[in-house]
Amino acid sequence: MQQKINETISFLKHKISINPLVGIILGTGLNDLATEVENKIEILYEDIPGFVRSTAPSHQGKLIAGTISGMPILMLQGRFHFYEGYTMEQVTYPIRVFKKLGIKYLFVTNAAGSLNPTMRPGNLVLLNDHINMMGTNPLIGKNLDEYGERFPSMNEPYDNELQSIACSFAETQNIDMQQGVYCAVTGPSLETKAECKLFASLGADLVGMSTVPEVIVAVHSGLKVLAISVVTNLSNIFHDQAHSQEEIRDNAKIASNNLINIIKHIINELKLKEN
Ligand code: HPA
């Protein structure tokens, strides 16, 4: 794996002239954030050695390098999901590449279903913890000691300082953003009512099919993580209608502006800190 990563790194270093500090993963329907990137270089995943292709609906499958408010960033427009048939190693591969390229902060976004009636479609939820219901873990196998330890702590996977910057900004801007716990499932079938009830009873507010593998690998590698979900639908404990991909994309759009503003604000704060 290390040799493959070295190939990816040397390919990307030839293409990208910046030294990125922030990595951003765009979830379903959140592509608008990509339009905020300046001095953009876009590279299709299929052209990057070591990357697989993203096949999920509305995931574009390219790496974007550039700046947001002057901060050098790398963005994954389209992520890899376990339900696409990729291994956990493939799903989380870009995170290890980010780490080797010098990224310190990882911002993860996703579309999620709500298990909490106060978290409505179109709302943003800042993740403060997660439950891994995927039945596997991306760190299974030989530990990659150059990234992190065998048994990394998951006591606080989501960085407290980043969370407090995000919350204070949301408050000053009157953005309705609660904090919550995300439960990750493999999909691709959506949850049954009984499963939704189970996850809610365990303390989950949201359910989705991504994020947790990437966060585990990021924490293992020592990255500081911030994750924000866009609630795209109420889970089916609250209603009887099947939800469509269109509904999920439309609701992601509603929240997208607020999300862009929050991320830009955090980047500005980090810029002050890093200078
Ligand atoms: N369940 C799982 N994943 C999802 C959902 C959901 O209700 N909505 C968006 N992603």
27 in ligand 1 pocket by Cβ < 6 Å?
no
Q: What's the gap between Cα 109 and its chain centre? A: 4
Return the axis-axis angle of helices 88-100 and 2-15, rounded to nearest 10°: 50
Does the CB atom of residue 207 touch ligand 1 within 6 A? yes
Q: Which pLDDT does position 145 carry in this prediction?
A: 96
C-alpha of residue 259 to centroid of ligand 1, in Å: 18
* Residue 58 predicted with pLDDT over 60: no
Residue closest via CA to ligand 1's atom 2 equals: 208
Q: What is the CATH number of the domain that holds 170?
A: 3.40.50.1580
Q: pLDDT over 90 for what percent of the chain?
A: 80
- Ligand 1 atom 9: residue of nearest CA: 112
Give yes or no for residue 59 having a pLDDT over 60.
no
b or e along 107-122 (b: 16 or more beta carbons within 10 Å of the residue's beta carbon)?
A: bbbbbbbbbbeebebb
> Residue 227: CA atoms inside 13 Å, Cβ hemisphere, count?
31
Atom of ligand 1 nearest to the CA of 114: 7
- Three-state DSSP state, 38: strand
Q: How many domains does the chain have?
A: 1
Q: What is the pTM of this model?
A: 0.94
Above 80 in pLDDT, residue 52? yes
Q: How far apart are CA 9 and CA 20, in angstroms?
A: 13
Query: Which one of 191, 193, 237 would you pick to mutate in the ligand 1 pocket, going by the greatest count of ligand atoms within 8 A of its CB?
Result: 191
Distance in angstroms (rounded) separating the CA atoms of residues 82 and 93: 12
Token pair recorded at residue 248:
């999920």
Over the chain, what is the mean pLDDT?
Answer: 92
Amino acid at 271: K
Nearest CA to ligand 1 atom 3: 208
78 Cα to the center of ligand 1, angstroms: 16
Q: What is the mean pLDDT of residues 150-158?
A: 97
Mean pLDDT on 86-99:
97
Q: Does residue 43 have its Cβ closer than 6 Å to ligand 1?
A: no
Q: Predicted confidence band at 253 (pLDDT cuts at 50, 70, 90)?
A: confident
Task: Answer yes or no: are the C-beta atoms of 254 and 232 closer than 8 Å.
Answer: no
Query: Could you tell me the pLDDT band of residue 243, with boundaries at 50, 70 and 90?
Result: low
**How far is ligand 1, taken at its centre, from the CA of residue 7, in Å?**
35
Average pLDDT of 122-144?
A: 97
Task: Judge whether residue 62 has pLDDT over 70.
Answer: yes
Between 274 and 137, the more confident residue is 137
pLDDT value of residue 270 = 94
Give pLDDT, residue 43: 96
Average pLDDT over residues 107-133: 95
Whether 235 lines ligand 1, by a CB cut-off of 6 Å, is yes
Mean pLDDT of 157-164: 97
Q: Which atom of ligand 1 is nearest to the CA of 209?
A: 3
pLDDT value at 245 more than 90:
no
Q: Is pLDDT larger for residue 260 or for residue 273?
A: 260
95 lines ligand 1 (CB under 6 A): no
Residue 242: pLDDT above 70?
A: no
189: helix, strand or coil: coil
Q: Is 191 in the pocket of ligand 1 (CB under 6 A)?
A: yes
Residue 127, domain extent: 2-274
Say how many Å lie between the CA of residue 184 and the centre of ligand 1: 9
Ligand 1 within 6 A of CB of 208: yes
At residue 1, the pLDDT reads 80
